[in-house]
Amino acid sequence: MERQAEAAGYARATMVLESNQQRLLESIYNDPRADDARRVYADWLVGRGDPRGEFMNSWPQTTTGSQWSNGSSKP
């Protein structure tokens, strides 16, 4: 199917990450419950005009005020 799409003139989509973006995402992957890295990444996206940053900034914080902040596992 992929070859058929390329033969029809469709380009293969690739995502190239900037080094700063890669480091920010690695921080989030390494500690997904930490809000700081996620907030910094959201601000980084906003600074580049990416609407995903505003969306991420609308998420509630996970570590403060969360029902799981006491260390219990998620249901």
Q: What integer pLDDT is reported at residue 2 of this predicted model?
A: 60
Task: Using DSSP, state whether 73 is helix, strand or coil.
Answer: coil
Q: What is the mean pLDDT of residues 12-37?
A: 83
Q: What integer pLDDT is reported at residue 66 of this predicted model?
A: 46
How far, rounded to the nearest angstrom, does the alpha carbon of residue 51 sit from its chain's CA centroid? 12
Contacts with 43 (C-beta within 8 Å, 6 or more apart), sequence order:
53, 57
Q: What is the mean pLDDT of residues 17-43?
A: 89
Q: What integer pLDDT is reported at residue 11 of this predicted model?
A: 64
Q: What integer pLDDT is reported at residue 20 of this predicted model?
A: 85
- Choice between 41 and 7, residue whose per-residue pLDDT is larger: 41
Mean pLDDT of the chain: 76
Neighbours of 24 (CB within 10 A): 20
Q: How far is CA 58 from CA 13, 14, 15, 39, 43, in A?
A: 29, 28, 25, 10, 12
